[in-house]
Amino acid sequence: MPHSQRLTSKKIFIGDIHGQSGKLAALMTYLDPHDDAMLIFLGDLIDNQPGTHIDHLAVLSQVKAMVDSGRAICLMGNHEFNAVGWAMRHPVSGLPLRPHTANNNRQHRAFLDDVTENSPPHAAWIDWFKTLPLFIDFGDIRAIHACWDQAALAQLRPWLDEENRLKPESWQFAFDKQHELYGLLETVLKGPEMTLPEGYSFLDKTGIERRNIRVRWWLEGATTWRQVAQVQPEVADCIPDIPLTRAYPALTGTPVVVGHYTLAGEPAVLSQSVICVDYNAAKAQHPLIAWEYDSVSGDVASGRFIYAK
């Protein structure tokens, strides 16, 4: 069912699931099956470390069934995007679009094992991932996996179809670091970056040294590197608390809902225009978060967070 044909004022935005089928099932018990709310999944349905609590097929099957029924929309996350790149081969070189490095394999292995790599079910899920839109704009509320960057979205337009999905011919360029499409997709699916001043770096959660930081693009009035850096709390002290060399403009205007950022603490809106629903549900001790919004009120402050463990 085309997005424009399903008219409902209530929308429920659901954060990154990462194979946590039990948490998705728990969240669904909070929702009235007779409610006409549209569910919007923010992507990253897949990829986690192997465990008895991880069931990729259960998550994917449940979400796809809701999408097929017209009750839900599922956006593309960076993990679905990467899954396509892992499976697809370049039409000229024959190499995987996403390199099969040890680190990439470790991130993706549990999903590959669950679907049996290179099997018909694996191919079918990759085909479905290719149909996921990058973003959705309802007029009064918008959603994207990591960052609503108006300039990047405008530049992406030629590479997308009318449903905001990557065109089939776009994929061969999406993982080419020399192509403009790569940087645009990095921004909207992973978030904008800035390079730290000379001499500063930090280790990410996988132990890799990084000199670039993700930017808190929703933050108004940030004046230092540490304020604008979206990093894990344990490495915040590695970010210099010195003035920024250039300001990063915060998003204002029509609200946007995102996932991606593995936030911590009590869920709260990030600004008057940005709501995040990823509070690290990938980890066993953290809840799956959703945010309910009703366009009748048209007010971000009237929305509510829903938790499921």
pLDDT for 179-236, tens place per residue?
A: 999 999 999 999 999 999 998 998 887 788 899 999 999 988 888 999 999 888 888 8
Cβ atoms of residues 269 and 255 within 8 Å:
no
Q: What is the model's pTM?
A: 0.93
What is the rounded distance in angstroms from the CA atom of residue 202 to the CA atom of residue 93?
35
Query: Per residue in 10-51, pLDDT tens?
Result: 999 999 999 999 999 999 998 876 678 999 999 999 999 888
What confidence score (pLDDT) does residue 5 get?
42
For CA atoms 140, 287, 204, 100, give the dihedral sign: negative
CB atoms < 10 A from the CB of 216, how many? 21
**The pLDDT of residue 138:** 94
Rounded-to-integer distance, Cα 38 and Cα 7, Å: 9
User: Does residue 154 surpass a pLDDT of 90?
Assistant: yes
Distance separating alpha carbons of residues 213 and 195, to the nearest angstrom: 6
Give residue-wise pLDDT tens across range 45-100. Answer: 999 988 878 999 999 999 999 999 999 999 999 999 999 999 999 999 999 999 99
- As a whole number of angstroms, the distance between CA 234 and CA 110 comes to 26
DSSP codes, 122-178: HHHHHHHHTT--SEEE-SS-EEESS---HHHHHHHGGGB-TTSPBPGGGHHHHT-TT
